Chains A and B, each alone.
Chain A
Amino acid sequence: MRERPMDDDALIRQLRAQRSLGVRSPDDEVVRRVLERLPARAQSPVAVVLWTRVGWLAAGLAAAVVVTVWLSSGSPRVPRSISAASVLSAAVGPLTTSTGQVGRGGRVPLDAVVPRGFGQGFSR
């Protein structure tokens, strides 16, 4: 006698009926460890904004608008060839060295930004 082939409905019924046999639970110890090691979530509004992609986008757009307005207002004198030092200089005013010299030509002497004594104790 030829067996009647199982149809999809019957098979699906079987799968659903035996779901419990396929269920696997994580070890309690694993769950406990996971919950114990959860890092703190940021609570401050600024941090919450920065958590989300939309927050990052909004913060980036706001920063871009501020910089555009600031540059187009003409108050800072931004040279044609912008170097990092000249942007810094435009933003915070002329930089002086530890000896009182003003950096020239967009070049900022190293000791204007690196504290005196930095690197002492290192040998070549």
Chain B
Amino acid sequence: MSASDSDLDLASRACDGDRAAFAEIVGRHGTSVFSFLIRRVETVQDAEDMFQATCLRAWMRMEEFDPRRGSLLAWLLVIAGSQARDAARVSRRWRRAASTRGSGAVAEPPPAAAASTAWIWGLVERTLTREQASAVWLRYAEDLTPSQIARVLGRTPVGVRVMLMRALARVRAELAREGRSDLADLESGPDECRGLNGGRS
């Protein structure tokens, strides 16, 4: 398996039952899928479970990948998004049941990523809702288009644009509140981040 194999080649081989090709796909895009999932769930364990479910579903439905509709990563993220929505629905129902039994409403716990991400992404996780943070991640870390994000999150493209606009405004407001607006003058973040964006922008 060479590094130059395109996603399409790998998908086609995986479709024929080639496990090595699928392993290569997971190696290539697993981190992006996991980074997305961890923003959608409460614990790392949940993210791992969902990651396994996503991989299994992708493997079983590999023939449904259509390169004309988007990249392989976008397709994997759509599957992951669907898994996350299902899990969130169950979790909401559980919380609603718990709040009716107990006293008052149970607040949405912070995503699993919140405690461990640093600096601006940590601020994003703390400040925004799970869905807003996911949209910001997909847009500015994974470079997905609003239409692709809409498919992943089960929203409309216009809804995603509005969500992104509001999310950025909220982060800016939080930065201003913390007196860190001058970060705007930095071109590429702190020293440890320089040169790490690898042409993604």
- A5, A10, A19: the one contacting B200 at CB < 8 Å is A19
Total A residues in contact with B, Cβ cutoff 8 Å: 38
- Interface status of B26 (Cβ within 8 A of chain A): yes
Mark contacts of B107-126 with chain A using CB atoms, 8 A cut-off: 1 yes-contact digit, 0 otherwise: 00000010011111110100
Nearest CB of chain B from residue A75's CB, rounded to whole Å: 39
Report the Cα distance A103→B137, complex, angstroms. 69
Q: Which residues of B contact A82 (CB under 8 A)?
A: none
Total B residues in contact with A, Cβ cutoff 8 Å: 60
Contact between B193 and A17 (Cβ–Cβ < 8 Å)?
yes
Contact between A13 and B188 (Cβ–Cβ < 8 Å)?
yes
Report the Cα distance A17→B31, complex, angstroms. 17
Report the Cα distance A64→B169, complex, angstroms. 57
Nearest CB of chain A from residue B124's CB, rounded to whole Å: 7
Report the Cα distance A24→B43, complex, angstroms. 13
Q: Choose, from B3-11, B54-62, B87-95, the stretch at the interface.
A: B54-62
- Interface status of B1 (Cβ within 8 A of chain A): no
Contact between A34 and B193 (Cβ–Cβ < 8 Å)?
no
Q: Which residues of B contact A52 (CB under 8 A)?
A: 63-64
- B59, B181, B187: the one contacting A41 at CB < 8 Å is B59
Contact between A15 and B124 (Cβ–Cβ < 8 Å)?
yes
Contact between B117 and A22 (Cβ–Cβ < 8 Å)?
yes
Nearest CB of chain B from residue A58's CB, rounded to whole Å: 14
Nearest CB of chain A from residue B177's CB, rounded to whole Å: 11
Contact between A15 and B140 (Cβ–Cβ < 8 Å)?
yes
18 contacts between A and B (CB under 8 A): A4-B182, A6-B172, A7-B184, A10-B183, A11-B175, A12-B140, A14-B120, A16-B197, A17-B193, A21-B120, A24-B35, A24-B116, A25-B34, A38-B19, A38-B56, A41-B17, A41-B62, A51-B63
